[in-house]
Amino acid sequence: MKNTFSIEALPEKWITKKIGDIFTIQQGITLSRKKDNGKVLLPFLRTSNVFWGQLELLKLDEMFFSEDQVSRLKLEKGDLLVCEGGDIGRTAIWNNEITLCCHQNHVHRLRKKDENIEPLFFMYWMQAGYKILHLYDQEGNRTTIPNLSRSRLSNFVLSLPSPNSRRSPTSSPPSRTRRKRPKRSSPPPRSSSARS
């Protein structure tokens, strides 16, 4: 039985927004092997490289890109990658694993509009929303080939913790230190008279 969780069940102080309010969404390039499309040969990500919470980069396809396409489609650290096809909604984070890489049209790139946004939170939100809470089961087009359009993704409703309750991504976790045992004092030296 599927979970009937609703966003309204979250704390009142959490802020409800749409993904399009928080991220700019860029769809990738249509696959083409023709060199006429550009002069720069680069690797690119497709849905087969994007899994829940991780990227598979052992096998990457390459394609020719124009300079304009590279400028528009290159990935930057912290970008979210969301599958438009296949297992729709599948989300991972790009962490500059490769110096220069782009993405195909079946992968949406989400880039945060505000530096205070923590992409990791949204990666886990998407996974929970799809796999556990079933918030977006009806959002993708499943009449023919399953797909998640840019407009549908942009309208996904999610909820953010209030600013006061968010933990800074740069803050360190509480450190644990082993309690030091008190040093045992050495017994006073025995006098020569005590030895006799």
Number of domains composing the chain: 1
Region 41-55: what's the mean pLDDT? Answer: 95
43 inside domain: yes
Q: Tell me: the pLDDT tens digits for 88-139? A: 999 999 999 999 999 999 999 999 999 989 999 999 999 999 998 888 887 7
168 inside domain: no
CATH number for the domain harbouring residue 14: 3.90.220.20
Q: Which domain holds residue 141?
A: 10-163
196 inside domain: no
Q: Which residues pair with 63 in a beta bridge?
A: 42
Report the range of poorest mean pLDDT among 14-23, 48-57, 135-144, 148-157. 135-144
pTM score, whole prediction: 0.77
The pLDDT score that the predictor gives to residue 3 is: 55
174 inside domain: no
183 inside domain: no
Closest CA to 127 of 92, 156, 161: 92
- 30: pLDDT strictly greater than 80: yes
- 22: pLDDT strictly greater than 70: yes
Cα–Cα distance measured from residue 90 to residue 189, given in angstroms and rounded to the nearest whole number: 73
Q: Do residues 129 and 136 touch, judged by C-beta distance below 8 A?
A: yes
